[in-house]
Structures are given as structure tokens and as C-alpha cells.
Amino acid sequence: MRAFIVDRYGKSGNTLRAGDVPEPEVGEHDVLVQIHAAGVNALDAKIRDGEFKLVLPYRPPFVLGNDVAGVVIRIGAGVRKFKPGDEVYARPDKDRIGTFAELISVNEDDLALKPKRLTMEEAAAVPLVGLTAWQALVEIAGLRKGQKVFIHAGAGGVGTFAIQLAKHLGATVATTTSAANVDLVKRLGADVVIDYRKDDFETVLHDYDVVLNSLDNETLKKSLRVLKPGGKLISISGPPDPAFAGEIGKPWILRPITRVLSHRIRKAARRRQVSYSFLFMRASGKQLSEITSLIDAAIITPVLDRIFPFESTNEAMAYVQTGRARGKVVVKVK
């Protein structure tokens, strides 16, 4: 089958190689999916460039890609939730990525039925950002009606989804964006919109319950100042904390490293009587099914910027890396 492959780690002009790879094996609890569309994420570039090579088990050459929508064509003997012909979508488990391809084998627990309202391309835009927003706002933050949440980069992939989810949960939502995207984030539900080129968010926002950070360390530190005592700072861009080492099954190796990496922000958080959490989202078909219900009820709608043909996957990656995408970028495989 055709796929886009990481042959080596490295940032200097590194691109994916288009080539042929063997069809994936289908285990007892696996589902073989014919891929129709795959979402493109900033995470893909970070994996390609080697930023996670110490903590994630990818050994080049390997197929890249973390979002999939497609059709079930074969199931393992123990699969009970899906059948051939089902339209599905997923963020495959971190150990089994590879959606920039014609086929992928996914554990049935990581899959969900595709929202009926969405095309394959729209569905492929959902899993990674949808699960990230869900795990940050529902699972970690426990966001509830009447609370205030600040979501950085509201026009991005995670931001566009998280704003809608936070409004559904009953929160007051603040976000940052450029002037060109103010109308977009307001339509999605943002109550307070800050033009990051003109205003400093830490002088505008006060006494927030939750901050969802996806930007750099300087922004992370400034975010502490908008939280009230007891507030929660959740970051998807690092630094990783000791809990992360346990979540990926490498506590003895990585816990000392993550303790050092996150020491400053955890200490600063304690001083302000708030908590700090690093989120590296995990696959979950159950949570994705909850998200499907919200999408089919028209409560959340994915924001899709561009669709690239499969053969232009490298161009899609380069566009995502410009940081100018509004919502998600997708490649159409079939």
C-alpha cells in the first residue's frame, strides 16, 4: 500500500518519503480501516523532527499520521463493536500511528462510529483535537457551568474545538487570536477575545478557573497570573510533568527527567496556589463516541481550513507549520 514514511529524524529540510509498505497486520481485537481522509497536526511535524524520540517508541522507517476517518474492511476474530462497511474515525493509540497511508489497523477500543453529519474529510479533522479538548476540559479541569476558562490560540485546531466544548459545558470563554480571526472565534462561542498583537492577555484577564495552553514557555508562565487560587493550568505543549512518565509506562526512566523539566512551572504554580498539568492526549473510542453525539446534535462543528490531495501530504505538513491554519488541515486519501 502507498504511505508517507519518516526515514530519519531531523529538522533540516526533512520531508516524508512517499513509498510502498506492507499492509498492516490485523490482530484479534483489531479493525482494518480503509483510510478516506487523515488529519494533519503540529504533532506530526514534532514526531517527524524527533522531538519525542526519547519517549515514544517510533523507530524509522515508520508511517506518520495521527487522525483517521474511513471504512472498516476487515475485523479480527475478537472484535464485537464493528463490522465491515462501518464508517469510523479515530486517533490511533500512540504506539500504532500511521494514518498517512491507504490502510491502518486500529484496536477496536480506539475507534468510534463516524458522525453522520460529517463528511470523511470533516471527520478526520476531529479525533486528536477533540480528544485533547475533552481530556483537558472535562477530565482534568472538570469544567462546569459558571466557571471561566482561557483558551490560547482560539483559531487553531484545538482552540476551535475547545471553545465550542467549553461553551457547551456552560463556561465563560476567553481566547487569543489575530484580528483576522476575531469573527470566527466569536461565532464559535468566545465571550472575551484578545488580539494578541495589540493586547497582553495577563493585563486583561483575572480570576480564571482554567487555562488551556498550547504555546511557548513564556506564555505558560504568564498564564499563571490570570488564574485564581485553586485554578488549573493545563498545557499540551509542555513541559511534561512526572505524571506523564507514569501515563506512558516509563516512570523509572522518565520521572526524574520530567521532574527537572517541569520544576520551575510546578514551583511557580504552587506559589500562586494553582495546579499545573501536562496533557499528552490518549486514544479513546469511548470519549470519541461522546464527541460524536455532540457533533450529530449540532452542538460542535469542526472547522476545516484546507483539504490537500494525498500526494501533497508534505505540502499539507508545511502549511500546518506556518501556524496560519484556521482550524484543521486534512489530506484526502480516497
User: What tens digit of pLDDT does each residue of 122-178 get?
Assistant: 999 999 999 999 999 999 999 999 999 999 999 999 999 999 999 999 999 999 999
pLDDT at 253 over 80: no
CA distances from 214 to 126, 153, 155, 165, 204 (A): 17, 7, 12, 16, 19
What does the alpha-carbon distance between residue 29 and residue 287 come to, in Å, rounded to a whole number? Answer: 19
In this prediction, residue 11 carries a pLDDT of: 79
Mention every residue, 6+ apart, whose C-beta is less than 8 A from residue 284. Answer: 109, 110, 131, 135
Fold identical between 2-120+303-332 and 128-278?
no
| Per-domain residue ranges of the chain | 2-120+303-332, 128-278
Query: Cell triple for residue 217?
Result: 514557555
What does the alpha-carbon distance between residue 129 and residue 91 come to, in Å, rounded to a whole number? Answer: 9
What does the alpha-carbon distance between residue 39 and residue 138 come to, in Å, rounded to a whole number? Answer: 23
Q: Which helix (H) or strand (E) holds 233?
A: strand 227-235
- R_g over Cα of the chain: 19
Q: Helix (H, G, I), strand (E, B), or coil: what is residue 253?
A: helix
Q: Give the closest residue to 70 by CA, choosing from 41, 28, 98, 29.
A: 98
Tell me the pLDDT tens digit for each residue of 73-108.
999 999 999 999 999 999 999 999 999 999 999 999
- pTM as predicted: 0.96
- 128-278 in CATH: which number? 3.40.50.720
Cis peptide before 115 (omega within 30 of 0): no
- Average the pLDDT over 222-243 and give the result: 94
Measured from the Cβ of residue 217, the count of other Cβ atoms closer than 10 Å reads: 14
Q: Which CATH class is domain 2-120+303-332?
A: alpha beta
